[in-house]
Amino acid sequence: MMLTRRALLLSGGALACDPDPMSQMVSANSPWLMWGSERTLSLTTTGVAQNSTEQQLVSVHYGRPDTWDFAFVCRALEFNGAWANEPLQVVWNVSFGVGRSTSQIDRFFVFEYLVPATFGAPTRFYTQAPGLPTNAGDTFPHVTAWLPAEQLRITAHLRETGVAAAGLTASVAVAAYVAPRSHIRPEWFKGRMAADEDNP
């Protein structure tokens, strides 16, 4: 007999009777808890090129390779000081791999504000990243729309290129979200829903 989430919580020792106890473990956190988040990034200029503190937005350690869609979001919050339309970049970095290998792609996607001219613009939302040309004459629009990965980590930071005067500040809300293009979990076929997926 398959235990419901409530019965499992009340049974106490039910896990010990299951030949695969981890498959029926009920957790307060869903399996996709770290598949996306939003962070506030802040930067104070110093008169030289610099990055803000890097923040982790996504951390995936999946049980198998899959193909992942992604979405990047940024929203200007506030700035202080006499900015004169200097560039402020939002940079997403991606690390992904399968098995024992991982590749780090710095500056996987970059969005640039001009503060203050475009800093108050609407929330920006992107689901594709432009690729680099393969040679000097390459004009083909290389675009990345998904990532093949078993492990996937996305971080973000702000970058100011050093043209702004020292002592200026800016803050941006930055997010990243990922989801597998075909999300079929084997335990679902056994009626085991670790995060109550059958009760939206």
Residue 88 lies in a domain: yes
Q: How many domains is the chain partitioned into structurally?
A: 1
Q: What is the structure's pLDDT at 137?
A: 87
Sign of torsion, CA 18 183 63 37? negative
150 assigned to some structural domain: yes
Q: Is there a domain that residue 197 lies in?
A: no
> Given this model, what pLDDT does residue 14 score?
38
pLDDT tens sequence for the chain (200 residues): 444 444 444 444 433 334 433 333 344 567 788 999 999 999 999 999 999 999 999 999 987 899 999 999 999 999 999 999 999 999 999 999 999 999 999 999 999 999 999 998 889 999 999 988 889 888 888 999 999 999 999 999 999 988 999 999 999 999 999 999 987 666 767 777 666 655 54
Task: With respect to residue 178, please indicate whether it lies within any of the assigned structural domains.
Answer: yes
21 domain-assigned? no
Q: Is 2 within a domain?
A: no
Residue 147 lies in a domain: yes
In a domain, 189, yes or no: no
Question: CATH no. for residue 74?
Answer: 2.60.120
Please give the residue range of the domain that contains residue 42: 37-132+142-182
